[in-house]
Amino acid sequence: MPISQLSSSRANFAMNDESFPMFSTKTHVKSPHNSPKFTHLSPKMIRRVRQVIKPPSQEPLHDEMRSFSKRVRRFFDENSCKFRVFMTWISSIKSFGDREKFTIESLFKFHPNACLIIVSNSMDSNRGSQILEPFVRLNYKVMAVSPDFKFIFKNTMAAIWYQQLEKGNVKPGEISLGQNLSNLLRLALLYKYGGVYMDTDFIVIKRLDTLRNVIGAQTVDPKTKNWSRLNNALMIFDKKHPLLIKFIVEFALTFNGNKWGHNGPYLVSRVVERVTNSSTKGGANEFTVLPPSAFYVVGWGKVGDLFQKPVDELHQKWLDDKIDQIERDSYAIHLWNRQSREIKVEDGSIISQLMKKSCVFCNLSRTIS
């Protein structure tokens, strides 16, 4: 059943990959935590933290680089932006390759009037402008801007957490601090501005502006058919949506830099589970959980199947059926870059077929591996 035809429900999570009842909630939940737990770091650890959060050392591309708010406001105002999309890029500019550029392509293919902001130190540079120039030349609205964490986090619990991080009172842990800052940054950006957040390893295959206040399920419990985990790689929320504040508070109060996913997919899963299980009523926390087929049609362990060409008639039938399912039920395909970056796109594969339909600079010989 197409996602758009599924009905809302407050209590029913029964689902399979083809049919998943959407869930809406209007609940407020008191946080089970009392206050953030801070500690004091060694001078060496403090230097490590500051290397991540300090402004970029390169010469800023714009004179008002430090004025994140002015640049973003002017970008939105001058372009009359009604459909806002945010991405973050925490890696070096050398790592921003064809796959990331194709995510931008596919976004503009289906949303030619979208306004895309890439929040990134490395992309807010001359080289970053060169990467984005082909899109700008076609009048697509895209800008890279260095983050001003203090401004973005202002008036939320994220500001308190970040202040303690700067002082060296938060242990960054073994997981990349940049990755965890990205987890928080996407929540704060959506809370402050509203719109879409998406990672840079998606292929958009359908319009997203028909969706409002949604988050996607990644996995399903095979016994109960309820969602078992959500993911924060693609989220769509109104400005100042109450659920976003719950996510931000959860981040500040439960931050753990040693557990992969604790501050990302597991965080949004914890909060939504508490909200949905609460009997407290009131407020305007309306949101929808979409089925895995919406954004995460395959899990990270099977993403390689999407890159393979058919090897026989049976495999060809499976590919055809999968394409039909994707075109019917999916809005975007998550490529799980951590697992699939080195996989080549084979001609005739699902990914190659989707690329032909989602490209702006259509060159059929090009791949995104």
Residue 364 within any structural domain of the chain: no
Model confidence at 98, pLDDT cuts 50, 70, 90, reads: very high
Residue 147 within any structural domain of the chain: yes
- The whole-chain average pLDDT of the chain stands at 85
Structure-block tokens of residue 362: 């259509």
For residue 203, the surrounding DSSP H or E stretch is strand 202-204
Q: What is the pTM of this model?
A: 0.84
Three-state DSSP at 208 gives: coil
Any idea what the CATH number is for the domain that residue 104 is in? 3.90.550
Range of the structural domain that residue 65 is part of: 3-29+37-294
Structure-block tokens of residue 268: 């949004």
pLDDT tens across 39-64, in order? 555 565 555 555 555 654 444 444 54
Residue 201 within any structural domain of the chain: yes
Residue 22 within any structural domain of the chain: yes
Q: Rounded to whole angstroms, how far apart are CA atoms 160 and 351? A: 43
Measuring CA to CA, how many Å separate 4 from each of 1, 19, 20, 315, 329? 8, 11, 11, 29, 8
Residue 250 within any structural domain of the chain: yes
| Residues in Cβ contact with 191 at an 8 Å cutoff, skipping those fewer than 6 apart | 156, 237, 239, 240, 241, 244, 245, 248
Torsions phi, psi of 360, nearest 5?
-105, -45
Residue 338 within any structural domain of the chain: no
Residue 198 within any structural domain of the chain: yes
How many domains is the chain built from?
Answer: 1
Residue 368 within any structural domain of the chain: no
Burial of 196 (0-12, 13-18, 19+ CB in 10 A): buried
Instruction: Give one DSSP letter per residue of 105-136, joined into a string.
Output: HHHHHH-TT-EEEEE-TTTSSHHHHHHHHHHH
Structure-block tokens of residue 249: 């508070």
pLDDT tens across 172-209, in order? 999 999 999 999 999 999 999 999 999 999 999 999 99
Task: Report the largest interatomic distance among the alpha carbons of the chain, rounded to a whole angstrom.
Answer: 62
Question: Which pLDDT belongs to residue 284?
Answer: 41
Three-state DSSP at 23 gives: strand
The DSSP call for residue 3 is G
- The answer, yes or no, to whether residue 278 has pLDDT greater than 90, is no
